Amino acid sequence: MGQDECRYRVEVKVVDKSSGRALSDAFVVFRSERGRGPGKLTDKEGVAVFKGLCEGHYHLSITHFGCSPFDGFFLIRSDTSFTAMLSHSVIELPEVLITDNRRSLEEVRMKAIRTEIRERQQFKPIADIATSVPGVQVLRTGGNISKPIIRGMNAQRIAVLNHGMVQAGQQWGNDHAPEISAFIYDSILVVRGISPVHLPAGHLGGAMLAGKSSAFADSHWHGSYAAGFETNGRGHWQHLRLDKGFADAGGIRLDAAFKRSGDMHTPNYYMRNTGMQEWSAGLLWKKNFTPVWNTVLNVDFYRTEIGILRGAHIGNVEDLKEAMSREIPFFTRDEFSYHIDLPRQEVMHLTLSSKTKIHLRNQSEVQVDLGAQINDRKEFDFRRSGENDRPALSLYQWLAFGEVKYSKNFNQLGIQYSITDNTNLPGTGILPLIPDYLSHRASLYYSGQKKLWQKEVSWGLRYDRVYYQAFPIVRSIPLEVLEDVRYYGGFTLNSTINLIQRKNFRLDYEVQLTNRIPEINELFSFGLHQGVAGIEEGNSELRREKAFQQHVNSLVHIGKVTVRADAYGYLFGDFINLEPTGELRSTIRGAFPVFAYRQYDRSLVAGADAIAEYQITEQVGLEIKSAVLYAHHLSEQKPIAWMPANRAEAGFRIKLPEVQRVKSGEWRIHVLMVDRQRRIFENQDFMPPPPGYVLFHTGVDFSIPLKKNYIAVSILMENALNKRYRDFLNRWKYFSDETGINISVSLRYKF
Amino acid sequence: MKKALLLAGVLVANSVIFTSCTKEKPVVPKENELITTLILTLRNEAVPSDSVVLRFFDIDGMGGIPPVVSQEGEIRAGTLYNGFITLLDETQDPPGDVNADILATDVDHQFFYLTDGVDLEFTYRDFDRNGRPLGLRMEVKAGTPSAGRLTIILRHYPDKAAPGVSAGDITNAGGSTDIQADFDVEVLP
């Protein structure tokens, strides 16, 4: 096919996606069946011209300092010119600035984690990766369990979605991370503030969405292999991805990943029993049955075993006090081990989902989603009887989900249904914290977008109807199992207005009214929460939590400076919180403080996030981020406990010159400053908040071109000064310091 | 649009049908780690019929019913007692013998006897497989007349090799507390 006709001229223009600026010195390479073509750098206008290209299919890849790489697949059969938009900054969202096309305001709200940040850090818990977005922090239990906090909202108020489905386990408590492997997903999106109403959860405080791409480059087998290791915990990991497109533009994709690490190390000692192992696998299959009908099937498997710090296993509150008084945790040993002993968590999730899209006439489509998830969680602890192989907690939960959505242009109408069945497997010999329950949730939503008064305005409405059938255990003599059946209704109303839309400035205003239905653990949990030696008591009298929230989001480009600054405020009625009641309950095991879910008449959470980027020279870029938060119970004049402290970050990116075959080198220096959390009363925590701290991180990225592809190398040095500190939002702060210096090396080969 | 509405309708219908599918009530779980009762019996070595029984009874574990503490008999100054501990789970019928569990895992357990203001001296009389104290049996010497508090603590996975632990000093023991029972006691003249 026209191999002799190598006479086509192709002009590629590369621009920055958010500002529309031409990008010079971007490296553009065409590859075809015949191998890799010559690469070219773009000129000052951002243009690279290729002459003498043959007719045929080409892969195009474009890399530029500080940008997520661009990959595409093209058929060339005439002279062509086109523009490629690269995400040149962390602030990559409002593409609207450079186009007259209308964009969904919903899209604008979502914040994608940049590909290279995700790839560089994919061995970490998924919530940790999301902290590159200002306003996102984590609540930790040690180094391997992290739960996201978005603008001060956590747990039930936010959602973690796994390929569109709610990830189970978030209602099981603070020491249960979203168990999702970052390896097998292509995108991590964070919704700060108002979530689109079509998400099945997280309408109060935002969401974190892990997604897989179902776009396939061509009909050959492609893939990537990544491997790496880290010094702290002597962790190592591998990930293999294979994908192949079909002639119908569908395709198949397989992922498999494994990670293992052992005892982590603070600057001074090993944290005994803090190893982990993680297996994950994925299968994605897309078929275009007809030009208007396609289906994507997705299967994800995840299994993990996580060790819990040996010294964090305590009995009563006296033990906790004793542990807090120690410089080094009990049971610390001066030796490293991969062995995961007691206490530990073993968790398995299997998720199946299908998404079917049928395009109708008039630019409209119907989407039908079906999904199921099987979740198995076991926690092993020291048993008095010595039966340590018997789990202290054994939960089995399945959920089924279905959705039908009709969309036309920017309007969507949909209905969702989900069933959750949570069963405590008998034989643990310990009364479960969360009772057995069954829940049905039916939801109806409608969202739209219109140009009103010359302004882009979007809105969303959602109504949820929930049925709970729970079986709480009453601590009477003898024990009794009750049946508690109840119905709730909850709604969400929101709107976003694009107030100002100019070439260099954009301002959006978001507003939402939400009625959150209490979750099962808030209503019915009862039992001992290990690690804090507290008795947790649900409150079956809880009413729905009401929230009125407003967010103002701005984006400014001034010359080489890009600033995104957002401010927000949540006003709550009947804010639900787990709080110490002040009661010290005397039992045969000693005294335990009682924590109960209670409601506050009025509470306020307000704050601001900002990020600024300054391209100082062609070689040096500066990025500054900060997040401040104020959280207060207005009706009782006291702070809301367990909120993130104020923080600021600054990072330099320095482009390195090419040395021999080492290309696209970049050196990063990063400083993180976290203030002491001063906004907490003495009686709201067991110990005063730890002091603030400053951490230095540094890293180098580069790539080594091979014959057809390249190997990308990333070296990361975290806590480079081996600083000893404790973090307010780590539940192990009572027992142990945070981890010390960690050097990780990751390699990635794409083929 | 019509198609979508139809599908939506089907789903609503489904939801109504599903709502009728409910879960069966689970059986009452068996709690086998519960200790409801700690009894410290002190027998006068010289006069075996003279005994003191201290009882700490907490029926509902983490539940809100306060524990009941009782004492039978009187501790006399200058007396040497043979002491032994009985642990029971009285939610079971017949009551579960928790002593057997402790004996089976004697290496991982140790009792500590802490006194505050009261002149009682405890000496271990039973030992685990490694020859280190366990504390289900002990000798108690009542000294001069005094009153104060006696705290009995059972530690799980204490570091029995740590300094002072084998002599009954809890300071360096570590581990987690399985039992902590407080008694207000008096040594009478």
- Of B26, B153, B176, Cβ closest to residue A436: B26
Most confident of A52-66, A194-208, A294-308: A294-308
**Three-state SS for B142?**
strand
Question: Does the beta-carbon distance from A588 to B38 stay under 8 Å?
Answer: yes
Measured between CA atoms, the residue of chain B closest to residue A311 is B175
Exposure pattern of A520-530 as b/e (b: 16+ CB <10 Å)? bbbbbbbbbbb
Got the DSSP string for A513-579?
A: EEEEPPPHHHHH-EEEETTTTEEEE--TT---EEEEEEEEEEEEEETTEEEEEEEEEEEEEEEEEEE
Question: Does the beta-carbon distance from A384 to B11 stay under 8 Å?
Answer: no
Question: Does the beta-carbon distance from A331 to B15 stay under 8 Å?
Answer: no
Whether A155 maps to a domain, the answer reads no
User: Taking CB atoms and an 8 Å cutoff, what residues of chain A touch B59?
Assistant: 477
- With 80 as the cut, is the pLDDT of residue A34 above it? no
Question: Does the beta-carbon distance from B27 to A426 stay under 8 Å?
Answer: yes
Whether A596 maps to a domain, the answer reads yes
CA A343, A159, A210: angle at the middle one, nearest 5? 85
* Residue A201: per-residue pLDDT: 84
* Residue A534: per-residue pLDDT: 82
Locate the DSSP E strands across A231-363: 236-245, 251-261, 264-265, 270-271, 276-290, 293-307, 344-359
**Three-state SS for B14?**
helix
- With 70 as the cut, is the pLDDT of residue B9 above it? no
* Residue A75: per-residue pLDDT: 75
User: Are residues A469 and A438 in contact, defined by beta-carbon separation less than 8 angstroms?
Assistant: yes
Question: Does the beta-carbon distance from A475 to B1 stay under 8 Å?
Answer: no
Whether A102 maps to a domain, the answer reads no
Q: Distance between CA atoms of A478 and B137, rounded to whole angstroms?
A: 31
A581 touches chain B (CB under 8 A): no
- With 50 as the cut, is the pLDDT of residue B1 above it? no
User: Are residues B23 and A421 in contact, defined by beta-carbon separation less than 8 angstroms?
Assistant: yes
Which residue has better confidence, A241 or A77? A241
User: Which residues 451-480 of chain A have a CB within 8 Å of chain B?
Assistant: 467, 469, 471, 473, 475-480
* Residue A370: per-residue pLDDT: 95
Of A59, A88, A117, which residue sits at a domain end? A88
CATH number of residue A43's parent domain: 2.60.40.10
Q: Which phi and psi (to 5°) does residue A296 adopt?
A: -120, 125
User: Taking CB atoms and an 8 Å cutoff, what residues of chain A touch B56?
Assistant: 588
User: Which residues 396-435 of chain A have a CB within 8 Å of chain B?
Assistant: 402, 404-406, 408, 413-415, 417, 419, 421, 423-424, 426, 428-432
Q: Which helix (H) or strand (E) is A1 found in, with range?
A: none
Which of B93, B112, B165, B180 would you mutate first to test chain A, the one with the most A CBs within 10 A?
B180
The count of structural domains within chain A is 2
Which of B62, B107, B109, B182 would you mutate first to test chain A, the one with the most A CBs within 10 A?
B62
Q: Domain map of chain B by residue range?
A: 33-107+118-148+182-188
A623 touches chain B (CB under 8 A): no
Whether A582 maps to a domain, the answer reads yes
What is the arithmetic mean of pLDDT over A579-605? Answer: 89
Q: How far apart are the first and last CA of chain B?
A: 94
How many other β-carbons are positioned within 10 Å of the β-carbon of residue A617? 9
- With 90 as the cut, is the pLDDT of residue A5 above it? no
**Three-state SS for B25?**
coil
**Three-state SS for A474?**
strand
Range of the domain at A375: 206-750
User: Taking CB atoms and an 8 Å cutoff, what residues of chain B touch A408?
Assistant: 1
* Residue A98: per-residue pLDDT: 27
* Residue A94: per-residue pLDDT: 31
Residue A607, both tokens: 């704050």
Of A36, A62, A88, which residue sits at a domain end? A88
CA dist A397 → A374, A435, A573, B20 (Å):
6, 12, 31, 19
Q: How is residue A158 annotated by DSSP?
A: S
- With 50 as the cut, is the pLDDT of residue A101 above it? no
What is the arithmetic mean of pLDDT over A47-74? Answer: 76
Locate the DSSP E strands across A17-54: 27-32, 35-41, 47-53
Weakest mean pLDDT among A79-88, A92-101, A433-442: A92-101
- Of A319, A419, A586, Cβ closest to residue B176: A319
Got the DSSP string for B167-185?
A: GT--TTT-SEEEEEEEEEE
Exposure pattern of A442-472 as b/e (b: 16+ CB <10 Å)? bbbbbbbbeeeeeebbbbbbbbbbbbbbbbb
Q: How far is A353 from chain B (nearest CA, A)?
A: 17
pLDDT in tens, A372-429: 999 999 989 888 777 788 898 899 999 999 999 999 878 899 999 999 999 999 888 8
- With 60 as the cut, is the pLDDT of residue A598 above it? yes
Question: Does the beta-carbon distance from A587 to B58 stay under 8 Å?
Answer: yes
Question: Does the beta-carbon distance from B28 to A417 stay under 8 Å?
Answer: no
pLDDT in tens, A497-520: 989 888 788 899 999 999 999 999
Q: Is the ipTM of this complex over 0.85?
A: no
Mean residue pLDDT across chain A: 87
Q: Return the closest-CA partner of residue A275 out of A315, A319, A328, A230.
A: A230
What is the arithmetic mean of pLDDT over A149-161? Answer: 89
Mean residue pLDDT across chain B: 88
Task: For residue A343, say if its preceding peptide bond is cis, omega within 30 degrees of 0.
Answer: yes
Measured between CA atoms, the residue of chain B closest to residue A367 is B4
> Sorting pLDDT into bands at 50, 70 and 90, what band is A261?
very high
- With 50 as the cut, is the pLDDT of residue A206 above it? yes
- With 80 as the cut, is the pLDDT of residue A171 above it? no
Sheet holding A27-32, edge to edge: A35-41, A27-32, A56-63, A70-76
- Of A330, A475, A481, Cβ closest to residue B26: A481
Whether A733 maps to a domain, the answer reads yes
Q: Distance between CA atoms of B1 and A363, rounded to whole angstroms?
A: 12
- With 90 as the cut, is the pLDDT of residue A92 above it? no
CATH number of residue A244's parent domain: 2.40.170.20
Question: Does the beta-carbon distance from A589 to B177 stay under 8 Å?
Answer: yes
User: Taking CB atoms and an 8 Å cutoff, what residues of chain B touch A476?
Assistant: 60
Q: Return the closest-CA partner of residue A17 out of A81, A105, A106, A112.
A: A112
Measured between CA atoms, the residue of chain B closest to residue A589 is B179
CA dist A290 → A195, A201, A357, B137 (Å):
33, 32, 11, 81
How many other β-carbons are positioned within 10 Å of the β-carbon of residue A339? 11
- Of A383, A419, A479, Cβ closest to residue B28: A479
* Residue A39: per-residue pLDDT: 75
Same structural domain for residues A488 and A351? Answer: yes
Give the rounded percent of residues in chain A with a pLDDT score beyond 70: 93
User: Taking CB atoms and an 8 Å cutoff, what residues of chain B touch A315?
Assistant: 155-156, 175-178, 180
User: Taking CB atoms and an 8 Å cutoff, what residues of chain A touch B25?
Assistant: 471, 481, 483
Whether A717 maps to a domain, the answer reads yes
What is the arithmetic mean of pLDDT over A130-152? Answer: 89
User: Are residues B143 and B187 in contact, defined by beta-carbon separation less than 8 angstroms?
Assistant: yes
User: Which residues 258-317 of chain A have a CB within 8 Å of chain B?
Assistant: 313-316
Q: Distance between CA atoms of A437 and A442, rounded to whole angstroms?
A: 17
- Which residues have C-beta within 8 Å of that of residue A340, sequence separation ≥ 6? A273, A275, A276, A277, A305, A306, A307
Identify residue A317 by its one-letter amino acid code.
V
User: Which residues 509-548 of chain A have a CB within 8 Å of chain B?
Assistant: 526-528, 535
- Do the strands A590-615 and A534-537 form a parallel or antiparallel pair, or are they unpaired? parallel
Whether A184 maps to a domain, the answer reads no
Exposure pattern of A207-218 as b/e (b: 16+ CB <10 Å)? bbbbbbebebeb
How many other β-carbons are positioned within 10 Å of the β-carbon of residue A540? 15
Task: For residue B189, say if its preceding peptide bond is cis, omega within 30 degrees of 0.
Answer: no
A362 touches chain B (CB under 8 A): no
CA dist B22 → A402, A484, A521, B25 (Å):
18, 12, 19, 9
Which residue has better confidence, A441 or A167? A441
Measured between CA atoms, the residue of chain B closest to residue A317 is B177
Measured between CA atoms, the residue of chain A closest to residue B159 is A331
pLDDT in tens, A349-372: 999 999 999 988 877 899 999 999
What is the arithmetic mean of pLDDT over A717-731? Answer: 95
Most confident of A45-49, A108-112, A646-650: A646-650
User: Taking CB atoms and an 8 Å cutoff, what residues of chain A touch B20?
Assistant: none
Q: How is residue B77 annotated by DSSP?
A: T
Question: Does the beta-carbon distance from B23 to A526 stay under 8 Å?
Answer: no
User: Are residues A596 and A582 in contact, defined by beta-carbon separation less than 8 angstroms?
Assistant: no
pLDDT in tens, B42-82: 999 999 889 999 999 998 888 888 899 999 999 999 999 99
Whether A200 maps to a domain, the answer reads no
